[in-house]
Structure 1
């Protein structure tokens, strides 16, 4: 019988050494069978996590989307994102993780802009630069007797975060100045990520952004092709799917966590959006 999971499992990578920062390099042959089995179970990370793939191939699932990582690529995972490894093939990978407390506030804002992220292929020169930075970080990570150990680790890991984030931002940046529609939509997405459990009407977000609801909807639809209401609903549905698939929290409790005290209403809302009742979705998508 499988162990009950009252919430989505969290891998304590960032805090496994008690510092809120971790960095390591490993290959498949370094993995114990138990480690591989745990990696193949859906989970979240306890910090902002990065994976630099030097060798091999990794198939993984992130929030119900499947991806393949090949050599000379990097992956950023936000603490909210639920993921699991599907297959390994002769893998050599470096990874580092840092929690919000140790992350530079400016970098936290940058990472919010590229969430959700997916694997990103790197130029070999860029990959080599980041790999060299990882090697230095690994050496610093072992110098636990240094009086300024945590400060050194914090600064060096933040430098790694900046290198990784800059690649995502360079990849996504437009050659022209962002339009007003793009600026508003970006601000809306940021507000949505922080308020989707309590604010479900476009007018509430429009008020936060000091614009009218019709204008907010015009901006969001112009950039995404969908209305602001649709984006709000999809963010709620994503979190519901995560909890239904990867935890044993009762469906009524999930509804309450997402701001729905009226369970029948939540059930109808979820069914209309996905074509399945919450119970049917859970039964089909259990880990």
Structure 2
């Protein structure tokens, strides 16, 4: 039976990683880490996992992924995930917080969230594997002069390699249109403000454009209105809390910025196609 929690568990850096960076390689005999990861949780840092051998099944925000090596997956701090199964796994990981990330890379990562697992070609995997090994070496060499600077710069180089892979796999390699640029900025703004800002007009004001133009850009790029995206983001967070915590629906509504509980219930039912209570009951069976 699922162990109930008052909120979604969050994994933080422990005292040994107070620099805000951690890099490690885990072998099959280290499977305790995967047993711990079988409880759904978030991180308060950006996580990059490099599957060198074996296979892993993982659930990220209600979507299941089966990952074969060699692969890489980026996990945003907001994403709730758990390990469903693993087999003969060797995996390396790099965890880094906002303060240590290059601001340019942080902005790019916001643009590829949610990220999907990427299968790596042999040559690409070899380069990334060498970069990971270098980062591990630096992480374990705490006696070095300029230790934190060397570790930070090497990990940012590794992050850049990962970002470049996601960018290369993006659907459009051409220079983004004005509509696409506005939509990208809207999505970034939505991610930071969804629990506080609900109306398309408020987002348009933040972007210093008209509501009509914002809607035109977003709909042209995605096929859906600004309101649709706002509601989808709010309901994703509501689903996370309903599934992974024992907060009441009313408490969740309040946490997501809804003073009018019945209105939140109507929005959830409209977007999810099921009531909040029915969603919780169905997924806890």
TM-score by length of 1: 0.94
Equivalent residue for 1:17?
Answer: 17
Greater mean alpha carbon deviation, residues 259-268 or residues 11-20: 11-20
Q: Residue 112 of structure 1 contacts residue 190 of structure 1 at CA under 8 Å; is this kept in 2?
A: yes
Alpha-carbon distance, 1:270 to partner: 0.8
Greater mean alpha carbon deviation, residues 191-200 or residues 209-218: 209-218
Alpha-carbon distance in 2 for matches of 1:231, 1:220: 9
Alpha-carbon distance, 1:244 to partner: 0.8
Equivalent residue for 2:232?
Answer: 234
1:94 aligns with 2:92: yes
TM-score by length of 2: 0.94
Equivalent residue for 1:26?
Answer: 26
Where 2:105 maps in the other structure, the secondary structure is helix
Alpha-carbon distance, 1:45 to partner: 1.5
Equivalent residue for 1:250?
Answer: 248
Q: Residue 14 of structure 1 contacts residue 99 of structure 1 at CA under 8 Å; is this kept in 2?
A: no
- 1:23/1:209 CA distance change after superposition, 3 Å: same
Where 1:59 maps in the other structure, the secondary structure is strand
Q: Which runs of 4+ in 1 moved over 4 A?
A: 1-4, 13-16
The alignment's C-alpha RMSD in Å is 1.8
Structure 2 unmatched runs, 5+? none
Equivalent residue for 1:285?
Answer: 283
Equivalent residue for 1:61?
Answer: 59
Q: Deviations over 1:214-266 (max 9, x none)?
A: 22112111111111110110000000001111112222121111110111211
Q: State the number of aligned residues.
A: 285
Tell me which of 265, 272, 275 is aligned to 2:273. Answer: 275
Greater mean alpha carbon deviation, residues 140-149 or residues 79-88: 140-149
